[in-house]
C-alpha cells in the first residue's frame, strides 16, 4: 500500500453560504509527521443541519418522483457527501453526470466522492477520469485541478504537483475560503518531500478582486438561506419547488426592476448554486455583467468564489 494516502479534500460551494474549503491530508510512515485534518464542509460553514437524514429523505423522494432531474441528483449527492456517505454520494453523482454530461462541476463532484469512498486506492481510475472530464469541460475547474495535482503527487511527481497547486493558487482570489488550506497543502507536501516552496509561495501573484472578496457571496444577506433550502428539501416535491421558486423568482423580479443592484445579482447566483442550478447561475452572471459592464471584474470574482462554472 502506498505510503501517501489521500485524506479529506472538499472544494465545494456549500449551500446557502457558498463557503468553500480545500483540504488534503497526507500520511507518511514517519512518527514525526502528523496527519493534517482538512475542514469538513459543515464545519467550514459553521453549522450543521438539524436533521440531515430528513434532508436526504426529501431529496430521495424528489429524484424518485422525477428520476431525470439532474440537479436533484446533484443535491442528493451533496447531501450524502456532507453526511459522510461517500459511496452513496458517488452513486448519486453518477446519475447526475449521466443526465447532464456537460456539467464540469458534476464531474468533479463525482471524482471527489469516488476518492473519498475508496478504502484502498487513493486515486481510483473512475475518479481520475472524472477530473479529466471536468477540466476538459472547464479548464479552470478548481476541484478537478486540485485533484489532478494530487494524482501527480501520488505518482511521486512532487514538483509537478506543487507547480500545479501554485498555478491554482494564482487563479484563486485573495481571501477565498479555500486559500489558506491550499497554501497549507503546498507547504506540507513541500516539507515532506524536501521541495522549497516558501519563496515560490511568496512570489505568487493573485489577481486582485473587489475587496473584500466574497463579502456578498458568503454573507448572510436576505434571501434563500441554508435553513430555508433544507426546509424546502423536506417538503413534497411540489411544495418544495413552489417554495424555492417563489423566493428566487421574487429576487429575479426585483433585479429586472433594478438591474444595477450588484449585491442582488450575487445573491441570485448564490441561490442558483445552492439549488444546483448551475446553468441558471451562469445565466445570472451573464445578465449581471451585461447590465453592469463597469462591475464586470467584481461580478467575475464573486462568481468564482461561488463556484459558478465557466467563469474564468
* pLDDT in single tens digits along all 312 residues of the chain: 232 233 322 222 222 222 232 333 332 232 333 332 222 222 233 334 446 788 888 889 989 999 998 888 988 998 888 888 999 999 999 999 999 999 888 999 999 999 989 988 989 999 999 999 999 998 888 889 999 999 999 999 999 999 999 999 998 877 666 777 888 889 989 998 999 999 999 999 876 554 444 444 444 334 444 455 555 555 565 665 565 666 677 778 888 888 888 888 888 888 787 767 788 888 999 999 999 988 888 888 888 877 788 886
What count of residues does the chain have? 312
Residue 33: its pLDDT value, please? Answer: 34
Other C-beta atoms lying within 10 Å of the C-beta of residue 279: 16
Cβ 21 vs Cβ 178: under 8 Å = yes
DSSP structure string for 229-284: HHHHHTS-HHHHHHHHHHHHHHHHHHHHH-TT-HHHHHHHHHHHHHTT-HHHHHHH
Residue 298: its pLDDT value, please? Answer: 84
How many angstroms separate the Cα of 166 from the Cα of each of 184, 207, 213, 253, 310?
A: 11, 13, 20, 41, 21
Measuring CA to CA, which residue among 197, 104, 175, 113 is closest to residue 142? 104
Domain boundaries, the chain: 226-306
Cβ 115 vs Cβ 121: under 8 Å = no
Query: Which CATH number does the domain 226-306 belong to among 1.25.40, 3.40.50, 1.10.10, 1.10.150?
Result: 1.25.40
Amino acid at each position: 500500500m502506498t505510503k501517501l494516502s489521500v485524506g479529506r479534500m472538499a472544494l465545494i460551494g456549500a449551500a446557502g453560504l457558498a463557503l468553500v474549503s480545500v483540504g488534503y491530508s497526507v500520511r507518511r510512515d514517519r512518527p514525526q509527521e502528523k496527519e493534517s485534518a482538512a475542514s469538513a464542509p459543515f464545519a467550514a460553514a459553521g453549522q450543521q443541519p438539524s436533521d440531515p437524514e430528513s434532508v436526504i429523505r426529501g431529496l430521495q423522494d424528489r429524484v424518485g418522483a422525477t428520476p431525470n432531474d439532474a440537479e436533484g441528483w446533484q443535491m442528493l449527492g451533496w447531501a450524502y457527501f456532507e453526511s459522510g456517505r461517500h459511496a452513496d454520494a458517488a452513486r448519486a453523482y453518477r446519475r447526475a453526470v449521466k443526465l447532464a454530461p456537460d456539467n464540469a462541476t458534476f464531474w468533479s463532484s463525482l471524482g471527489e466522492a469516488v476518492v473519498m469512498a475508496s478504502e484502498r486506492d487513493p486515486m481510483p481510475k473512475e475518479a481520475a477520469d472524472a477530473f479529466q472530464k471536468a477540466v476538459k469541460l472547464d479548464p479552470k475547474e478548481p476541484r478537478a485541478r486540485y485533484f489532478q495535482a494530487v494524482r501527480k503527487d501520488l505518482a511521486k511527481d512532487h514538483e509537478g504537483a506543487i507547480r500545479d497547486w501554485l498555478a491554482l493558487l494564482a487563479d484563486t482570489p485573495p481571501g477565498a475560503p479555500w486559500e489558506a488550506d491550499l497554501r497549507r497543502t503546498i507547504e506540507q507536501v513541500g516539507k515532506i518531500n524536501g521541495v522549497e516552496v516558501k519563496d515560490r509561495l511568496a512570489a505568487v501573484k493573485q489577481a486582485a478582486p473587489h475587496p473584500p472578496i466574497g463579502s456578498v457571496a458568503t454573507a448572510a444577506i436576505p434571501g434563500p438561506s441554508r435553513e430555508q433550502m433544507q426546509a424546502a428539501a423536506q417538503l413534497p416535491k411540489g411544495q418544495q419547488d413552489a417554495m424555492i421558486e417563489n423566493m428566487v423568482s421574487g429576487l429575479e423580479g426585483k433585479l429586472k426592476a433594478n438591474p444595477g443592484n450588484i449585491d442582488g445579482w450575487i445573491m441570485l447566483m448564490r441561490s442558483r448554486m445552492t439549488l444546483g442550478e448551475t446553468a441558471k447561475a451562469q445565466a445570472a452572471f451573464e445578465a449581471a455583467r451585461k447590465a453592469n459592464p463597469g462591475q464586470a471584474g467584481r461580478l467575475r470574482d464573486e462568481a468564482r468564489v461561488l463556484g459558478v462554472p465557466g467563469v474564468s
